[in-house]
Structure 1
């Protein structure tokens, strides 16, 4: 897969050498936004946050959906370079494959920022996101308090290779280090609710006793919660990440124990504020963190 993406990158960069030579319209009031997927409430909220703040500041937003496909993301970046945008905001599908997309922007002298998920290479002006490591630690601390620092845990991981998966997992595992917790299963469910349901069903069948589940996002957490509910395992604590409307509702009803609130609307708004400063030739930080909080009943 990495070899294929490398080939794609080389071909794309060669094909768009002429684009890099084109003169950009620096007076354009258009922002490009490439979203990993709009089939996820979190990223819909992120998009809405970008569009709301952009409208307030007088910018037009061109939105493209990568549909969780790295190749589609590359194609979207190719398209955005010829749509007369002043800057592009990239929410990567995968932090490794996003390097190809960032380099296309670099090659065409188009400034690029990443949002929520980082790119593992290329020149990026700034990265705007929650502190995912801190969020993972927050989930770990909550479960330690609720379970007295011991028990059997399941960890549902997000898309392999994404910075959110890596950082949330690191924060959570660092947070439970030295405790009496035992992670009996750790599997990928690609940030998807349906996959979260099916993966959790298989884990229940193979592992039996479970005290808690930490999912790297709410969609997987909600899928896991449904699988547990179907098996009558209502005492298992489920902790998600993102604080989507469905997850917050599940917490209020006692179906989920907690969710780490990432505030996607605020992330989108913060990203546009940063873009506005860049386009006015103001200096910004290379990483702009957005506040997290834990939502419980």
Structure 2
């Protein structure tokens, strides 16, 4: 295997492949017909706070809201789309002037967005898209490019030949779809690279452990694992340690636990996002919307590859 230089960075600057961003004004903002909104109160509905990535996302939003003088109301959907809808309904009743939504499931989130649209409350989505409703602005990493980064790294380390396993995220989430699309764009184009198993583990560490154990039993010659987030990658680390096997493990998010695992050699790399930046950007764009300014329809945050110095 080739040795890898520490913190090899590949910047994915905020550029979208479908042409220039369309400007979008705050015409969707306004006062609810049933509940008077408070211009200094913002609602934030997060898919789960049982994941360090989304905790950091929340903390970034909270810090920026405090700096700009907003009250931020944060609720946890606990990875349950029905709870997400209930959370949105509840938070709208508290008179928020804008809604920041991090969906559990992109299709199901359309109902949540529609609730805010009915109350004429502007919606920003973060990290995961909503497949329906009027969303003024979406802030996320370019997950397709991130999946491609992971695949190209694995391909290089395997020497263009090998058996690969994939741990998928929550079915229906846009991050699951896009990271998988990017990964398969690269891997499926090379006949010498074979994905021997691809299974969902719901972005969860314990499920990542269990699914990886099952994969290793069915396919003992797995040489690399791509996990669509760090939590699943850390579960895969534990499964490999228990089995006594070795494999390249690449995660996605760049959380502190994952970086420590990369530094120690347990993980090989992670595609690092900046959730605190995304949370901060969401608040900044809410401020623009509430001030009647135009914002970009899609805003991409930078990605970089965090890799181990001595993996071989």
TM-score (ref. length: structure 1): 0.91
Give the alignment partner of residue 196 of structure 1, picking from 208, 216, 230: 208
- Distance, in Å, in 2 between the alignment partners of 1:117 and 1:73 is 14
The runs of at least 4 aligned residues of structure 1 exceeding 6 Å deviation read none
- Distance, in Å, in 2 between the alignment partners of 1:256 and 1:247 is 7
- Offset at residue 274 of structure 1 (A): 1.0
- Distance, in Å, in 2 between the alignment partners of 1:237 and 1:195 is 19
- Offset at residue 20 of structure 1 (A): 5.4
Q: Secondary structure at the match of 2:78?
A: coil
C-alpha distance after superposition, 1:243-287 (max 9, x if no partner): 111100000001101000011111111111111111111101110
In structure 2, what is the equivalent of residue 102 of structure 1? 113
Q: Does 1:47 align with 2:25?
A: no
Gaps of 5+ in 2: 1-30
Q: Does 1:74 align with 2:81?
A: no
Alignment of 1:81-92 (within 5 A): 81-92=92-103
- Offset at residue 168 of structure 1 (A): 0.2
In structure 1, what is the equivalent of residue 218 of structure 2? 206
RMSD over aligned CA atoms reads 1.1
Give the number of the structure with larger relative contact order, counting CA–CA contacts within 8 Å between residues 6 or more apart: 2
Q: Secondary structure at the match of 2:42?
A: strand
In structure 1, what is the equivalent of residue 134 of structure 2? 123
C-alpha distance after superposition, 1:4-56 (max 9, x if no partner): xxxxxxxxxxxxxxx9522643x520110000000000000000000001111
- Distance, in Å, in 1 between the alignment partners of 2:144 and 2:289 is 27
In structure 2, what is the equivalent of residue 284 of structure 1? 295
In structure 1, what is the equivalent of residue 3 of structure 2? none
Tell me which moved more, 172-181 or 75-84: 172-181
Cα distance change of structure 1 residues 125 and 24 upon mapping to structure 2, 3 Å threshold? farther
Q: Secondary structure at the match of 1:260?
A: strand
- Distance, in Å, in 1 between the alignment partners of 2:218 and 2:136 is 46
C-alpha distance after superposition, 1:131-155 (max 9, x if no partner): 0000000001111111111100000
Question: Number of matched residues?
Answer: 277
Q: Does 1:262 align with 2:273?
A: yes
In structure 2, what is the equivalent of residue 145 of structure 1? 156
For the 8 Å contact 2:270–2:305, the answer to whether it is kept is yes
- Distance, in Å, in 2 between the alignment partners of 1:166 and 1:140 is 15
Gaps of 5+ in 1: 1-18
Give the alignment partner of residue 33 of structure 2, picking from 3, 6, 21: 21
For the 8 Å contact 2:35–2:93, the answer to whether it is kept is no
Greater fraction helix: 1
In structure 2, what is the equivalent of residue 168 of structure 1? 179
Q: Does 1:226 align with 2:251?
A: no
Q: Secondary structure at the match of 1:265?
A: helix
